[in-house]
Amino acid sequence: MLLVIDVGNTNIVYGLFDGPVLQHQFRVESSRGRTSDEHAVVLRSLLAMYEIKPAQVRGAIIASVVPQLNDPMLALVRQTFGLEALMVEPGIKSGVRILTDNPKEVGADRIVNSVAAFDRVKAAVLVVDFGTATTFDCVTDKGDYIGGVIAPGMQIAADALFSRAAKLPRVEIAKPPRAVGKNTLHSMQSGIVFGYVGLVDGLVDRLFAELGGPCRVIATGGLAGLIAPLSRTIDEVDDQLTLVGLRLLYERNGGAPDA
């Protein structure tokens, strides 16, 4: 099996592939204070729940946007599976040209998403990833990554509202019954959710204008399922996009597909 690890600012997602099929997926908190031993205890416990033995894992790849967790994740794989994990970093063979001012500063997750999205549609594509930040990544019909947008994530925006407005309570991020709120709860949910839908659609429209026309829009990330049905520009949601991209990168860098 192949272990793929997506290290984000909020969560670490572990995926286990058997060939091209994602068999298991685990999501845990991205605790920067945990040691590699502590991360290993958590992962071993998750594997044990499904009776997966460490010896079954024959390859590993990591994409991280949290530099403090890079070494602990590499050590986790080394200690738990006796493997040296492939790290998504500058120089890795992606099959995607990075046509930005400074390719080295593009986040690993954005490259991974672009690889998976272009492999899926074989045409120009725009990826919207709803994570701690919401990113918009543009890939041309030739498979070139040309840049995109980084916006505050919806949870970050909501947290700022809760913390800076003394009389407003913390509310669940959920779709309200209508845009016109009849109470504080629904008014806040309307502003957070419908306001964010407007941000997404407005940015996608602006990107389409600069790109010379519309293309396929794929959403991924924790809040994609909430926003996509309310958006007029998002075509589909793929919760496994980043994990699939990691598998593709592993294979493109010499890893066996049935690792």
Q: Kindly list the domain boundaries of the chain, sorted by start residue.
A: 2-87, 103-241
Name the catalytic one among 109, 129, 137, 238.
109
> What pLDDT does 127 receive?
98
What is the rounded CA–CA span in Å between residue 129 and residue 134? 5
| Residues of the chain predicted below pLDDT 70 | 256-259
pTM (predicted TM-score): 0.92
> What pLDDT does 30 receive?
86
Q: Do β-strands 125-130 and 86-87 pair in parallel, antiparallel, or remain unpaired?
A: unpaired
> What pLDDT does 33 receive?
81
**What order do you get walking across the sheet with 236-237 strand by strand?**
145-152, 133-139, 125-130, 216-221, 236-237
> What pLDDT does 257 receive?
61
Residue that is written with structure tokens 């309570």 in the block: 169
Pick the CATH number of 2-87 from 3.40.50.2300, 3.40.50.970, 3.30.420.40, 3.10.180.10: 3.30.420.40
DSSP 8-state assignment for residue 100: S
Known catalytic residue: 159? no
> What pLDDT does 258 receive?
60
> What pLDDT does 32 receive?
80
What is the rounded CA–CA span in Å between residue 94 and residue 89? 10
> What pLDDT does 149 receive?
98
Enumerate residues 6+ apart whose C-beta is below 8 A from 248: 115, 116, 119
> What pLDDT does 158 receive?
94
- CATH code of the region 103-241: 3.30.420.40
